[in-house]
Structure 1
Amino acid sequence: MTTTATHLRTVALHWNDLHEAAGTPAQIGAFGLGLKGYLARLNADAEQLEYERHQAAHLRSLERDPMQLGTRPIPIRVQVLETMAAVHTDLLQCADAIAETVQRPPMKPPAPRRAAHARTRAERVAWEDHARRVQAAKDDAADRRRWRWTGIRPDAPYTALWLLGRVQGAPGPFRPLTKVEERRIGGVARACADRVERALDIAAQTRTLEQRHACGGRIDVHGGEGRQPLAHCTGCGRIWSEGGVIAA
């Protein structure tokens, strides 16, 4: 069973992969890309489809033509950027809410004392103890493990790892999570990891299209994990890919 900790690690470990993917062209043959359009036009004219395939290949060759002048911008994958923004927002909102309930307020410093010369050993000990308590309060307020609501917001990997620390009971100015809080983090972590895996196409996926096959059966599309997507009709059992029918 996949745990909340695994989901949070997935987000943190694959964040750089998302940055790289956001600046690369969409993978041909990734889950659902092109296949749904192909299925939607199963009854279209074969010659028209062939023409469109040749036209698309011609346009791709022009894009790669080294004779073209000028600096070409790096293609941006908007869907990956949207995924990153949504995951970051969800993690921040979850951490904000969790920290509000589990993070202990900073220690209150002792009341200031008027400067005076210690005349006895007891007075010197009292002053030294007061100084230690002042420093302890400062250190507690500045503890880097504390969650901050103001200033520059943490990035997604840091936020995921901060939540991981709360799930695993890492030391710090925090109380243990309640079951409700654990479930809240678990739900957010699972949804964020799923978005990351879908954006990077590193998880197996299955979807059922709204469009039905000519026989009336449902069409299930299987893909992900970098594999070429396949469609399967639950009615007649036909299986096909972008290239055409594989089995009937």
Structure 2
Amino acid sequence: MTDTRTTTQQLQQIARLWPDLTDALSAPTHHSWPPVELKGYLNAMERMDSVEAAALRALERSPDQLGTRPVPISLRIHDTMRAVEAALLDTADRIARTVQRTPIQPPPPARAATARTRGERLVWQDRARRIEQARQDSADPRRWHTVGAGRTAIRAALWLSGRAGGASGPFRMLSAAEEQHLARVAAGALGRVESALDLADQRRELTAEHPCQCGGTIEVYGGAGAHPVARCKGCGAIWSESGVVAA
């Protein structure tokens, strides 16, 4: 399905959903996608080898994945968070280097002296004003910093949302190429987040090794909280978790 939300809306949605990802990290659940839980014929085709499954379960519960943790973690959620955060931070760094104005430079150091005339006082007052202006411009909270604190997925998503929406600040507007690149990153990142949280409608075709008994290709629908359903594109047979619905 085509996501009709704007880039700004997609990035803001990522920021809103990030706490849900954090909660899901320590609460592994069985998602309905991919649809490996379909019973009967489809379940047999999609069943994972028991040895491999045991190894994956052991790995998912390994505290070495994110350091020592008191509870198991979901590798699926962890991998999603790591990939999305890396993409957002890298994109923010790249865009900031091209659209963010260089901070105002303070005046060069000068030897302290006593202002003896009105003219000298005005010079020192102007110098103090320029120093404060440079300090405030460098500390502008709207700026993106490629080093230091504040480099989080939520902060990057909201900062990029501001750039996509043309919010005011020490920046120029995005070019057409930058808008297109940011749109691709936002759509891809949100897709991964919603998929990890089982919020997005999804569909895929099973591999050629798993055809229907009639030889047709099986397409599976699921996600967005709905139970997965499989349908043969050849004979029209439909399966759900409870087995064959129609043939």
The Cα offsets for residues 62-103 of structure 1, whole Å up to 9 and x where unpaired, read as xxxxxxxxxxx6332111110000000000110110011011
Show the counterpart of 2:157.
Answer: 160
Q: Report 1:43-122 matches (<5 A).
A: 74-122=71-119
Q: C-alpha separation between the residues in 2 aligned to 1:196 and 1:83?
A: 7
Q: 1:151 to 1:83 in 2, by over 3 A?
A: same
Contact 1:31 1:228 in 2 (8 A): no
- 1:230 equivalent to 2:229? Answer yes
The CA deviation at 1:120 is: 2.2
2:38–2:240 contact (8 Å) kept in structure 1: yes
| Contact 1:108/1:137 (<8 A) preserved | yes
Which residue matches 1:150?
147
Q: Which position in structure 2 is the counterpart of 1:49?
A: none
Query: Could you give the per-residue CA deviations for residues 175-201 of structure 1, whole angstroms, max 9, x where no partner exists?
Result: 111111111111100000000010001
Provide Cα deviations, 1:124-177, integer angstroms capped at 9, x if missing partner: 112111110011112112222221122246111111001011111222211111
Distance (Å, rounded) in 1 between the aligned partners of 2:120 and 2:133: 20
Q: Aligned pair 1:25/2:22, yes or no?
A: no
Q: CA deviation at 1:36?
A: 8.7
Q: Which residue of 2 aligns with 1:183?
A: 180
The DSSP-based 3-state class of the residue aligned with 1:127 is helix
The separation in 2 between residues aligned to 1:27 and 1:101, in whole angstroms, is 43
Q: Percent identity?
A: 49
Instruction: Confirm or deny: 8 A CA contact 1:30 1:227 kept in the other structure.
Output: no
Q: CA separation of 1:36/1:139 partners in 2, compared to 1, >3 Å: closer, same or farther?
A: farther
Which residue pairs with 1:214 in the alignment? 213
- Residues 139 and 246 of structure 1, relative CA distance in 2, 3 Å threshold: same
Match of 1:195 among 192, 195, 199: 192
Kept after mapping to 1: 8 A contact 2:42/2:239: no
Q: Secondary structure at the match of 1:212?
A: coil
CA RMSD of the aligned region, Å? 2.1
Structure 2 residue matching 1:228: 3-state secondary structure = strand
2:2 matches 1:3: no
Question: How many corresponding residue pairs?
Answer: 220
Whole-Å separation in 2 of the counterparts to 1:9 and 1:18: 15
The Cα shift of 1:9 comes to 1.4
1:245 aligns with 2:244: yes
Q: Distance in 2 between matches of 1:147 and 1:200?
A: 28
Distance 1:23 1:79 in 2: 11
Output the CA distance in 2 between the equivalents of 1:178 and 1:28.
39
1:39 aligns with 2:42: yes
Q: What's the TM-score, normalizing by structure 2?
A: 0.83
CA distance in 2, matches of 1:192, 1:28: 19
Measured after TM superposition, the shift of residue 226 of structure 1 is 0.9
TM-score normalized by the length of structure 1: 0.82
CA contact (8 A) 1:31 1:201 kept: no
Moved more, 78-87 or 102-111: 102-111
Deviates more, 1:20-29 or 1:128-137: 20-29
